[in-house]
Structure 1
């Protein structure tokens, strides 16, 4: 048993999943699983209860977790002190996010990262999920914050929060919350992106589960601001997270109605790229994003969002 074993063990214990721990550590889930199995053999005890939804620590695991966290935090503090003294840090930090997420997160994230890495060059990118995922695979981006695809497949991700979608209408459109609760988007003329867009796929899949088809008034691959303007001008209605139109609703330019049901929430997740950054540095990036997201939700600055209750990605 060494410090790396304890660090990986602490990650698994905290995330409740081999796959989420692997994502944070920058390795594949099978490597984490094998490493934890070997640690259990070395110690001669079971450290985890394994289920189809993840893992939880046994009594022996809970005892070890206390020491593992202490060792990890001590080593991290020592590394941070040495790096700070030497003026070290990654030369460049590349963070990516989809536009509506970037609008909410990037400002606060800048200050947290600048404090932790004062000598690093920060680079923020916004774009559609397909382009950002390609950048992650190519090692262009270190970390991305994305809406989980409707069909995530084998993509490893860590859920950060869930964001409820709202039906957004012109002020004079005849709509009530009771109508939305009973009929959803059925019969509502919609402004939506083209078919390859994640939001379009999400809305159509949600409609199919509820037994109706989306009535398309206009396809628009424009920014959220342009889409909101199109709705304001009476071109149709749309579906957006509350955070992206909260100001327009507060000013009386638009109306918003929360869509009912668990399937009307989109999961925003953290995805690591094939980067050359050190695992400890990636962990610091990830923890900075978690810190910002948690603060935004707790302060009410991310309206319509709730923190994710547990791990995601393929099961352990």
Structure 2
């Protein structure tokens, strides 16, 4: 028997790691003192700067001395309580002012996004809901919240859940309704699925079909990882067959185009608008439907506009989708 030997050697931090740590250390030291430095540099007078910033003069003086010690550079030439910038100090001031302005801009931006009346909601949804469902929802919501802004992201279910986890989205409409310990989800509605066939297909004269009758057909489907692909595979398995797949795509209307071209059949939700060249059959068995739900990250605090839109979506339970 061969046993893998564990190395006892200790790995020393690389120079890049040491440099990164040193940079982080200096930033943590400097950051609290930058605004004080900018105030003294602007007034060129410690007492006046202390009064404007409402800090004790002794505190401000000590902060400037420590800042110079941390940098190892003289930033000020001192004459009593009056100071003037050295060349190094003037160079440093330009960068400090840009950094402080960027921090102020970022703070204003996040405050604006959280404003109850004019804030922003980062909202994700499935491609199949982009033409009609989501525009209708936002239109209805803005009747009472006319100035709330939206950042909209269309994607497939798993990709949107990852964006929730990374903080890129506040909420998403997805299917199937996720069941994960780090997410909260609410079922909102159900959407019946149809078997879409070419207009000249032998089945096109039918209005209803049992899915088992399509066992010998060639299917076009969404790619693996999409919720509709998983639903298609599961329904076909329940009907007693494994679908023979000719084409895989990323968007439902593209699949309808492939069906219209006679390249296969597909299980899809209803279209927003009628598509020429195809016929859509109700599936009587097995029960063919997908659940639609809203999901968000568990424990993630909501801004007022996100909380309002979440409440609105949940209030539409059972009435989310167009009739």
TM-score for both structures, normalised by structure 2: 0.56
SS at match of 2:262: coil
Confirm whether residue 266 of structure 1 aligns to residue 293 of structure 2: no
Against the structure 1 CA distance between its residues 152 and 264, is the aligned structure 2 distance closer, same or farther, given a 3 Å change threshold?
farther
Pairwise CA distance, 1:219 = 2.0
Cα distance per residue 1:242-275 (max 9 Å; x no partner): 134x511xxx521011122464110001112364
Checking the alignment, whether the CA contact within 8 Å between 1:166 and 1:258 is kept in structure 2 is yes
Give the aligned CA root-mean-square deviation in angstroms.
Answer: 2.7
Deviations 1:133-161 (A, max 9, x none): 01111222111111115x74545321111
Q: 1:141 to 1:184 in 2, by over 3 A?
A: farther
C-alpha separation between the residues in 2 aligned to 1:182 and 1:264?
9
Alpha-carbon spacing, 1:133–1:90, altered in 2? closer, same or farther (3 Å): farther
Distance 1:157 1:259 in 2: 27
Shift of 1:288: 2.3
In the alignment, structure 2 segments of 5+ residues that lack a partner are: 1-114
Answer yes or no: is the 8 Å Cα contact 1:113–1:288 preserved in 2: yes
User: What whole-Å deviation, never above 9, does each CA across 1:291-311 have from its counterpart, x for those lacking one?
Assistant: 5675565xxx34xxxxxxxxx
Aligned counterpart, 1:229: 257
Total equivalences in the alignment:
206
Trace 1:13-32 onto structure 2 (pairs within 5 A): none
Check conservation: 1:101, 1:146, Cα contact below 8 A: no
* Distance change in 2, residues 1:292/1:253 (3 Å): farther
Matched residues in 2 for 1:156 and 1:229: separation?
36
Q: Tell me if 1:247 matches 2:271.
A: no
Give the alignment partner of residue 138 of structure 1, picking from 166, 183, 196.
Answer: 166
Aligned residue runs from structure 1 range 40-51, under 5 A: none
More helix by share: 1
What does the per-residue CA deviation read over 1:55-100, in whole Å, with 9 as the maximum and x for residues that have no partner? Answer: xxxxxxxxxxxxxxxxxxxxxxxxxxxxxxxx84362111110111
Runs of 5+ consecutive residues of structure 1 not aligned to the other structure: 1-86, 303-316
CA distance in structure 2 between the partners assigned to 1:168 and 1:92 by the alignment: 38
Secondary structure of the residue aligned to 1:125 is strand
Q: TM-score, normalised by structure 1?
A: 0.57
- Contact kept, 8 Å, 1:144 with 1:273, in 2: the verdict is no
CA contact (8 A) 1:143 1:272 kept: yes
Runs of 4+ in structure 1 off by over 6 angstroms are: none
Q: Distance in 1 between matches of 2:123 and 2:225?
A: 23
State the SS of the aligned residue for 1:226.
helix
Structure (1 or 2) with the larger CA radius of gyration: 2
